[in-house]
Structures are given as C-alpha cells and as structure tokens.
Copies of this chain bind each other. A is one copy, B any other.
Amino acid sequence: MKFEIMRHRLIEGLNDVMKAVSSKTTIPILTGIKIEVTEEGLRLTGSDSDITIQTFIKTEENGEQVIRVIEEGSIVLQARMFNEIIRKLPTNDVELEVTEHFQTHIRSGKSEFHLIGLDASEYPLVPEIQDDRQFVIPADLLKSIVRETVFAISTSESRPILTGVHWRVKNGELVCVATDSHRLARRKTILEQMPEGEYSVVIPGKSLNELSKIIGDSSEPVHIVMTDQQVLFKTSAVYFYSRLLEGTYPDTSRLIPNEFTTKVTIDGKALFQAIDRASLLAREERNNIVRFTSLKDNVIEISSSSAEIGQVEEEIQSTLVEGEELNISFSAKYMMDALKAVGGQDVKVQFIGAMRPFIINSVHDDAVLQLIVPVRT
C-alpha cells in the first residue's frame, strides 16, 4: 500500500471514525483504525464492536485531487497514536506506505514515522446490510428526535432493554420512546416517505448520543436502514452502524393518561429557571425534590428546603390554571430534562392529583410528550 493524501481531509475523516474507537475494548485490534486504499479512494473504519463508523474519502473531490494512489492495499494502525501523529505533521502533504511485515511509514516534510501495523484481514468485517428497506430523516430533525428522548433512558443494567430507545415505524409514523420507569419521553414524527411494513427496534442510548455528535445540523438526508440485529445511519460522508438491544420493549402506551384534574399553562423557561434555582438547595438532600404548589390568581410556587442549608421559595405567574388545587413534589432534574426536551415558550403541564404521573408538552402540539412520576412526601 502506498498513497499520498491532503492532511486536512485525512484529519476530517479521522475526526469521525475516532468517535467509535474505545481504549477500553477487550478486542486488541479494535484499538486500531482500518485504512483501506483503492483507486476510488480511502476508507477508514473504527469500531468498539457496538458502534462501527466508516468514512470514505474520494480520490478526487470537486475536481481537486485529494489522494494520489500509488499502490492499493490496507493496514490497521493504532488509532490514538495515528490520529495524533497526523494532527501534528508539519505539512499538508502526507505519504503513507506499508512495506513488508506491516511496517508502515508516514512521511511529511522532514518528519518520518515508522510504525508497526496490524494485518487488516484480521479486522472484524462490517455487517452486511440490505438497503432495500430504508427511510429518510433530515439530519437536524434526527438530532432533535435523539435529544428529546435519549436522556430518559435507564442508566442501570438491571433491565438492559431500558438502556435503549424504542423506535417503532408504523403507518408512516415514527414513534420513539425512552423510559427509566420513573419518567418517560416520547417523540412522534410523521415520515415523508413512508417505508413499507412495520419496524420495531431498540437502539442503545450510547449509540444515539454518538450519532448525534457525528451528524451535522444541516437538513442533509440521513438514510436509516433497520435489520434484526443492526441499524445503519448513512450520510454522504459517514456510515454509522449500531447493534440493537435484544428483547421486547415494554408496552408503554397504557402509562400515558388521557384525563386530568389540573391543567397548568405556563412559561416553560421561567418554570425551568425557578426549578433550577430551587434545586440548588434540593440537590443537597437525598432526592433533589422540589415542591410545586398552585396558589390563588394563577400563581405557581416552587419551593424546596434543606435541613442544613435553608429554604427557597419561587413564585411564577402562570397563564392559566384549570381544575383542582395542587400540591405535588417531583425530581427537579427530571422536570428540567423534560422542559428542555419540550422546548419553546409556553408549555402545558397536566396532572391527576399529587400521586399519579403527570405529563408535559408544548401548548402547540404533542409531538414531544414527557411524563414524570411524582414523589410522595
């Protein structure tokens, strides 16, 4: 293998695939990056066996020669070291050559590195995925969907299935649900190009978080292909593979109430900030609990106290309080997470007394719905 490449493009490619490489892997070759060069271009692959990221740099881009291929071939190089070397090389022209016994030579200006590589044929193969059953979501919308749900997954391994987000496609609608059994986040999205059939997969939360870091904020289409064991997200620059979680996701639809005894319409940002302040004291206690009380004249009081430090009271003028008076306690963190996910200015919070789960959504639509189980005090 021998080729020359423009360093800044190689760095861009490494930026993506490095996100899949973990130093904690138990499979030694996965501490490396697979580098394959053909007449078409350079393919880089990084993986931690749960997530695999591939990027392809074409020999020519927009009429400019990015790579000059002298001899096709492949090699695996220790990822962190290779990445740091490329970043620090003195010029934009980099030459990479593999000689016998996987000896790899990296040259740039008057700098020359000689590394011992690994046999690329020992690197795990990327799963083969038929792309006849794919659907498309714009990158920025995909990021929103992840942001509005993934925070609610469970971080405990006692029920592994809850560490993922349940994605279900049916009748042209994508419904994403995450829950840790104390709260739940649901996001519904109408798909423009309805895929055939029905899909139901559980994607690890960690994979979705990494995916979010890689895809841009543009409206570029992301092609999504689901199989029984893998999901693939494809953009023009990157292929992102994730394994799926095995098992059946619990049916959460019955958890979400339809009838309520108290409805509060309120400025979500003001509510967020009041809870943020109240939680300064609340978090010193065990549970980070704040109290939410409806006073007269549509005023909502948020309060909290810590035996050692003191108390706090906040008053917020809400737009409207309908139904019964209310005095309920809940986790400040859960409520702040939910308000961030709902976004926008005015939110609707609907309760059935102080003991039953309550829901939060935008006054404009219920594409994003958040549910929180209150705390008995």
Q: Which residues of A come within 8 Å of B, CB atoms?
A: 78, 81, 84-85, 88-90, 104, 110-116, 273-274, 276-277, 280-281, 284, 308-316
List 25 A-B pairs, Cβ < 8 Å. A81-B280, A81-B281, A81-B284, A88-B273, A88-B277, A90-B273, A90-B274, A90-B277, A104-B310, A110-B316, A111-B277, A111-B312, A111-B313, A112-B312, A112-B314, A113-B277, A113-B311, A113-B312, A114-B310, A114-B311, A114-B312, A115-B309, A115-B310, A116-B308, A116-B310
- Is the CB–CB distance between B81 and A309 below 8 Å? yes
Please give me the residue from chain B that is nearest to A108 by CB atom. B277
Which B residue's beta carbon lies closest to that of A105? B310
Chain B nearest CB, measured from A95 CB (Å): 15
Top 6 A-B pairs ranked by shortest CB distance? Answer: A110-B315, A115-B310, A114-B310, A113-B312, A114-B311, A88-B277
| Bound Cα distance A308, B114 (Å) | 11
Shortest distance in angstroms between A239's beta carbon and chain B's nearest beta carbon?
29
Please state if B310 and A113 are interface contacts (CB–CB under 8 Å): yes
- Contacts A81-B284, A85-B277, A110-B314 known; list 6 others, CB within 8 Å: A88-B280, A111-B274, A113-B310, A114-B310, A115-B310, A116-B309
Q: How far is the CB of A318 from chain B (nearest CB, A)?
A: 12
Q: State whether B277 touches A78 (Cβ < 8 A).
A: no
Report chain B residues within 8 Å CB of A310.
104, 113-116
B311 contacts A280, C-beta separation under 8 Å: no
A274 to B91, CA, bound (A): 12
Contacts of A90 in B (CB 8 A): 273-274, 277
Separation in Å of the A256 CB from the closest CB of chain B? 32
List chain B residues, Cβ under 8 A from A277: 85, 88-90, 111, 113
Given known A116-B310, A310-B116, contact A276–B111 (CB-CB < 8 A): no
Query: Which residue, of A90, A111, A276, has the highest number of chain B Cβ atoms within 10 A?
Result: A111
Task: Select from chain B the residue with minimum beta-carbon distance to A302.
Answer: B111
> What residues of chain B lie closer than 8 Å to A309, measured between beta carbons?
78, 81, 115-116
* A310 and B78 alpha carbons, distance in the complex (Å): 11
